[in-house]
């Protein structure tokens, strides 16, 4: 039985993946690394430090260190979220569905706390969540299950009784590794990607999630 619900932030609560791509392309271009859209998709779901480490392993650079790049990306993202981010279509309906059931809800994301706060405060929904948790507090980011295990612990709920919503493969792997049920809402370009077939439910939009689908998962 599902006793708690956990949402990823980027791509589930807010439409921010295009903003991450825009900022990563801009910042990495400053050190001579010209990322393409397909290249950016390889790191979707990873935290920012892991993204930086990934690209350094692929194409080492000189000049700015990891910490400088991290702070530059996060500050640019903070501004971009404040100025441009929109709520994902259907999210408020899904959130209200679970609130009506009196289920505790949480956020578990690779984004740092400052971006969680920026996004949720912008839309006035920070107070709707019982737990806000970032993988920046974990030893390992997604696809490691750490952030999900910690979030379920803070919720006081065994992971196997949690339902997670994810848009990325790395995030979905993290939730499933934590033994949670997983609803995936992949980017339209990945909706037919067979890698998501392990999901308990795959949707093309949160608008498709209904009370009936919840009942099918809640067994």
Q: Give catalytic residues, as residue numbers.
A: 8, 10
Give the contacts of 74 (CB within 8 A, at least 6 positions apart).
48, 112, 114, 115
Handedness of CA 91, 94, 97, 103 (dihedral sign): negative
Give the contacts of 25 (CB within 8 A, at least 6 positions apart).
34, 35, 40
Tell me the β-bridge partners of 133. 108
Element containing residue 120 per DSSP (H, E)? helix 113-122
Instruction: Report how far apart, in Å, the C-alpha atoms of 156 and of each of 53, 73, 213 are.
Output: 33, 33, 25
């Amino acid at each position: 039985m599902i006793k708690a619900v956990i949402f990823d932030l980027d791509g589930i609560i807010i439409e921010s993946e295009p903003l991450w791509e825009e900022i990563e392309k801009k910042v990495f271009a400053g050190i001579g690394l010209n990322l393409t859209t397909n290249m950016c998709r390889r790191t979707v779901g990873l935290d920012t430090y892991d993204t930086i480490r990934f690209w350094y392993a692929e194409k080492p650079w000189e000049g700015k260190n990891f910490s400088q790049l991290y702070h530059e990306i996060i500050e640019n993202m903070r501004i971009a979220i404040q100025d441009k981010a929109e709520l994902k279509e259907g999210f408020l309906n899904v959130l209200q569905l679970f609130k009506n059931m009196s289920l505790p809800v949480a956020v578990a994301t690779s984004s740092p706390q400052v971006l969680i706060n920026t996004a949720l405060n912008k839309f006035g929904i920070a107070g709707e969540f019982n737990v806000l948790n970032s993988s920046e507090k974990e030893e390992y980011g997604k696809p490691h299950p750490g952030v999900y295990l910690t979030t379920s612990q803070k919720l006081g709920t065994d992971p196997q009784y949690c339902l997670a919503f994810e848009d990325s493969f790395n995030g979905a792997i993290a939730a499933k590794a934590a033994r949670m049920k997983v609803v995936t809402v992949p980017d339209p370009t990945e909706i037919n990607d067979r890698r998501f077939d392990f999901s308990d439910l795959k949707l093309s939009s949160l608008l498709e999630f209904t009370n009936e689908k919840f009942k099918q998962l809640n067994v």
